[in-house]
Amino acid sequence: MRLYLTALFEAQASTSRAGTHPVNKRRLSGPGEQPSWADLLASPAQLSRVGSAVHMTPSAKKMRQLKTTLVRLHEEELITLPHSAAGAGKYEGFELMHEAGKRRQGANDLYKLPKPTDKDFFVVPTTLFTQGWIHCLEDTELAFLLMLASMNAYEQPAAVMGEVRLLHYGIGRDAYEAHMMLNNLGLVQVTIDPRRFDDGKIEGYNDHHEAFLHRFQLLPAGLDTPAFVAVRDQVAHGLEHGSNA
């Protein structure tokens, strides 16, 4: 998810024209005039040793992770590998395909940069990438943010029906509960039924009173904060106070 979203952002920040397929001229790794794909991705890889000998360097681990991710994206038809027969260089110049991925019938289309007149796209704040949130949030938290962005939950809170969350967005209970951390980080504002107790029960529920769905509002200003500092401080706070954070 992180690599594909980063690649979409990189493509939209390029000089390619709207409605065209962006060309990937960025190297996988190594020195050059512009950062490589490996430079754009964060990794917890550390030096591996066998005795006093170096077994694998962090850069080598990062490249292995990058290539493994590209294989997975290729299997899902989210990218194509135009140089697949080039041996060691087969991952260079990978090209983006449409976000819908693998189809039941036929091959997926190449990705094209959205046009202002298109109706089937939604806006994601650029600070998700430029402030490092793309690297610091869990996959479930990123999926939750994207769901709210697609529902345009910027100006007013949005309620998410369970069947919509599961069938339309593919977000299960674990990902749904990601809103708790996002609320703590100031990225999402959560409005709950005032009759709901801490254990989840609803006052008067057995008296045929309907429970109100949680409502969520995306707070793009929260993404202006550097992600690493915000997540580090929130995790430390949670450990200190024994909260769910």
C-alpha dist (Å) from residue 164 to 1, 145, 169: 21, 15, 7
**90 domain residue, yes or no:** yes
Between 150 and 245, the more confident residue is: 150
**103 domain residue, yes or no:** no
Is pLDDT above 50 for 202?
no
| pLDDT tier for residue 15 given thresholds of 50, 70 and 90 | confident
Q: Residue 198 has what pLDDT?
A: 52
Region 168-183: mean pLDDT is: 85
Q: Residue 133 has what pLDDT?
A: 97
**73 domain residue, yes or no:** yes
Return the CATH number at 171: 1.10.10
**101 domain residue, yes or no:** no
pLDDT per position as a tens digit, 131-155: 999 999 999 999 999 999 999 999 8
Q: Are residues 87 and 131 in the same domain?
A: no
Q: Are residues 218 and 134 in the same domain?
A: yes
In the chain, the number of structural domains is: 2
Q: Are residues 152 and 230 in the same domain?
A: yes
Q: Are residues 132 and 231 in the same domain?
A: yes
Boundary of a domain, candidates 96, 112, 142:
96
Q: Are residues 202 and 155 in the same domain?
A: yes
Region 40-55: mean pLDDT is: 71
Domain containing residue 220: 127-241
Between 162 and 112, the more confident residue is: 112
Is pTM, for the whole model, over 0.85?
no
Q: Are residues 132 and 221 in the same domain?
A: yes
For 65-98, give one letter per residue: b (16+ CB within 10 A) or e: bbeebbeebbeebbbbbeeeeeeeebbbbbbbbe
